[in-house]
Amino acid sequence: MGTREVTPTLGAALEVLDGKRLAVLTGAGISTDSGIPDYRGPDSPPRNPMTFQQFVGDPAFRRHYWARNHVGWRHVGRTLPNAGHRALARLEADGVVHGVITQNVDLLHQAAGSRRVIDLHGRYDRVVCLDCGAVIGRAELAERLEALNPGFVESVGAVADIEIAPDADAVIEQTAHFVVADCERCGGVLKPDIVFFGESVPRERVARAVALVEEAEALLVAGSSLTVYSGLRFVRQAAAADRPVVIVNRGTTRGDPLATVKVEAGTSETLNALTELLPPYRPLPSNR
């Protein structure tokens, strides 16, 4: 296992994961070292995220959301993958990681080099029309919003001075004068291609994630409190199939009772250690 000091819990995790092909589930905790705050981490401030029902049901809520997002999305676009993201990409290259299911929308796994990534809750760089289904890039919408709201970003201060949330949102109080852009194709309501609180994950996306967990030999959870069912379901799936579950997270998670091993530590250092200590995956020879 090399010269790295191995804690008892990390050693237990290695014993469970060694020689297995892993499905990985990641949450906001893996991106905190890249400067994107966690909604539910031990040190996270209280937040009251906008729900899907509020967004679709009230133009004032939509205006407030898009005003804040117009500032915040730039911050996410400038963030870089951290050691945890890069570690998972290396483990995939070694055949250890079969694929990543992420609850994040920041695309940092792809930026780090991971190839098989299921963006469970969507991705921040796309926008969808709720009426006609048209999809456009977030950068394209930014140009339209800038033209409709010249000087708005400058009027609320530098992005670095504004609290940023994991969905590319930003906390701004004065948004009543912000002008929202509608779909250029049909005039319908535009929404980030992100699953809001109170909104269901698309069934096709869930099916792909379920298949990934089914194909793997163990499940590794990194940086998720598993508070919402969209992530917890995969822990329950693996446990029901008698597949080992290793959870790496600072703080309690809803999946802890089902975990084979819980590593109470940061994701960057733990995942980086796994890249040094886990050998490349070598499938057992077939008996046929």
Q: Known catalytic residues?
A: 121
Locate 229 and state its tokens.
């069912």
The position carrying tokens 């535009």 is: 190
- Of 184, 202, 182, the closest CA to residue 193 belongs to 202
Task: Report the phi/psi class of residue 92: left, alpha or beta, with left for phi > 0 and alpha for psi in -120 to 50.
Answer: alpha
98-109: burial string, b at 16+ Cβ within 10 Å, e else: bbbbbbbbbbbb
Rounded CA-CA distance 271/51 in Å is 33
Rounded CA-CA distance 272/288 in Å is 36
Rounded CA-CA distance 78/138 in Å is 14
